[in-house]
């Protein structure tokens, strides 16, 4: 047993062993019986609340950029994007209010529009700075959780055999790990569609909305109350204020402006 797993609690060790033994399978979560007024998962509810609180800010956008070299089959790329939309309900989902409660609203069909912007005039120059500016602007555009796709892409054409693919998703429908799943599926589908073959990907046994329904059904009653009581106890009383040394006064309103410093 490695050092990390040896530090786990007995309960977490048991969960780890179940996972390693293949006892956690998709069929342990049943498919939902209907698609009306689907509840949000607890994670989605938290992100929806933050979006309401900050009026559609962009700080929960997940942006990615991919530099593509070689001849690009635009038709196959668009086919691949639309197949991914078809496969994953969560990427066709909006979040609307019904009886003053947010619910998942899944579009039966959604076409992924892929704008193509010609930047060939930058070829031969130091185009990275311009592309980074453009990518930053795209990443900061907010989503409306109640309307329209919560995922968007733009293809920047630098030349016949050079492109930059920009992808932005809202965190309420995806996460960092899922970006890797997206790229694996995109690559697999692109290879198939560019050679006239059908999709080799099997249908998904469950969708994210199925998990949300299962989670809500499971975490209620005594189990939910036990967890709520734990956190009420942990957070009771006056919490200490974290004092960090800064080089300027903390603003009254958060700007969420951040950066990375490598050294």
Q: Write the CATH number for 135.
A: 3.30.559.10
Phi, psi values for residue 249, rounded to 5°: -60, 145
Torsion angle of C-alpha atoms 104, 51, 204, 191, degrees rounded to 10:
130
Lowest mean pLDDT among 101-105, 224-228, 247-251, 258-262: 247-251
How far CA 98 is from CA of 41, 104, 142, 195, 216, in Å, comes to 16, 10, 23, 45, 17
For the ranges 7-21, 45-59, 238-252, the maximum mean pLDDT occurs at: 45-59
81 within some domain = yes
Tens of pLDDT along 150-179? 999 999 999 999 999 999 999 999 998 898
134 within some domain = yes
Lowest mean pLDDT among 42-56, 70-84, 122-136, 178-192: 122-136
Q: Residue 60 is part of which domain span?
A: 31-197
Degrees (nearest 5) of the Cα angle 144, 98, 214?
A: 90
pLDDT confidence of residue 127: 84
pTM score, whole prediction: 0.80
Contact by Cβ (8 Å): 154, 66: no
174 within some domain = yes
| pLDDT for 125 beyond 90 | no
| pLDDT for 6 beyond 60 | no
In the chain, the number of structural domains is 1
2 within some domain = no
248 within some domain = no
| pLDDT for 18 beyond 70 | no
Tens of pLDDT along 59-88? 899 999 999 999 999 999 999 999 999 999
25 within some domain = no
pLDDT class of 1 with cuts at 50, 70, 90: very low
**Lookup: tokens for 216:** 């809500």
143 within some domain = yes
26 within some domain = no
Total count of residues recorded for the chain: 263
């Amino acid at each position: 047993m490695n050092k990390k797993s040896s530090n786990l609690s007995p309960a977490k060790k048991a969960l780890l062993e179940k996972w390693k033994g293949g006892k956690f399978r998709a069929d342990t979560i049943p498919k939902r019986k209907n698609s009306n007024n689907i509840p949000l998962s607890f994670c989605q509810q938290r992100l929806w609340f933050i979006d309401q609180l900050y009026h559609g800010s962009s700080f929960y956008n997940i942006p990615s950029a991919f530099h593509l070299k070689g001849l690009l089959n635009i038709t196959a790329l668009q086919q691949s994007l639309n197949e991914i939309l078809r496969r994953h309900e969560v990427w066709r989902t909006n979040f609307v209010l019904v009886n003053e409660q947010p619910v998942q609203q899944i579009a039966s069909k959604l076409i992924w529009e892929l704008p193509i912007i010609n930047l060939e005039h930058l070829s031969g120059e130091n185009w990275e700075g311009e592309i980074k500016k453009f990518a930053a602007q795209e990443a900061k555009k907010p989503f409306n959780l109640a309307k329209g796709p919560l995922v968007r892409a733009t293809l920047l054409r630098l030349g016949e055999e050079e492109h930059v693919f920009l992808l932005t998703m809202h965190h309420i429908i995806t996460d960092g790990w899922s970006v890797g799943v997206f790229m694996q599926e995109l690559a697999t589908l692109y290879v198939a569609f560019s050679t006239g073959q059908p999709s080799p990907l099997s249908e998904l046994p469950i969708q994210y909305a199925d998990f949300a329904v299962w989670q809500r059904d499971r975490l209620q009653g005594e189990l939910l109350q036990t967890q709520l009581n734990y956190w009420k106890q942990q957070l009771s009383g006056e919490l200490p204020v974290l004092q960090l040394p800064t080089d300027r006064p903390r603003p009254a309103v958060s700007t969420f402006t951040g950066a990375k410093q490598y050294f």
